[in-house]
Structure 1
Amino acid sequence: MDEVTIWHNPRCSKSRGALELLAEAGVAPTVVRYLDTPPTRAELVDVLRKLGTDDPRAIIRTGEQAYRERGLAGADRETLLDALAEEPSLIERPIVQIGDRAVVARPPELVRELLG
């Protein structure tokens, strides 16, 4: 199996649930605590490609205060990518990546589909 990576926030129940499902499947992923080690802009673009989109809205948390404060509702792609790179709390979680595929595991059971 290709390497499995999870962008993880241990305070998030969905993120913990995805991690548990991976463990149940016998998968020991690379755990990236993205709030502590934010992804680069290039990594964000790569994960969007793996998700099958180029739209950063696929991974942005629109309910966050930072989203409103930055006025991102009408922002273009480049502005959204910059905001995600600068403010990782805006990134939806968890994101699980296997090889060239990824899923925003909300609900966590989406991990099973990714595992096949």
Structure 2
Amino acid sequence: MIKIYHNPRCSKSREGLAILEESGKDFKILKYLENRLTLAEITEIIELLDIEPIDLVRQNEAFWKENYKDKRISKAHIIKLMLSNPKLMERPIVINGDKAVIGRPAEKILTII
């Protein structure tokens, strides 16, 4: 089943959700700000996206800029930061089986559904 890690307050996330709704395919909405992800879930997302942890961080987020911009941080520490501050994660993230994309732009979602 297709999964979307979704933040209803984010316009890009809402755009991604609309694409899934229009597709007519079954999918599950995971509101990751309400139900925080586990270490295993974030690790799996990073692996499916085939990216480094820093590539999943919203580096323009005020919290990141004020505390971590231009600092050398380990991959493990970046993941821990996303666990404790899920707003730092890029969104939306869509997973379909062993494929995943960050839906920025939202049209990227079409490549895996």
Task: Give TM-score scaled by structure 2 length.
Answer: 0.92
SS of alignment partner, residue 109 of structure 1: helix
Q: Within 2, Cα distance between the matches of 1:72 and 1:32?
A: 28
AA matched with 2:48: K
Q: Which residue of 1 aligns with 2:57?
A: 60
CA RMSD after TM alignment: 1.2
Q: Point out 4+ residue stretches in structure 1 off by more than 3 angstroms.
A: none
Identical aligned residues as a percent: 34
Q: Which residue of 1 aligns with 2:27?
A: 29
Q: Within 1, Cα distance between the matches of 2:98 and 2:41?
A: 13
SS of alignment partner, residue 39 of structure 1: coil
- CA-to-partner distance for each residue in 1:5-62, whole Å, 9 max, x for gaps? 0000111111111111111110231101111111111111100111123x11121011
AA matched with 1:68: K
Q: Within 2, Cα distance between the matches of 1:61 and 1:31?
A: 20
Among 88, 92, 102, the alignment partner of 2:100 is: 102
Task: Give TM-score scaled by structure 1 length.
Answer: 0.90
Shift of 1:67: 1.1
Q: Is the 8 A contact 1:102 1:114 kept in 2?
A: yes
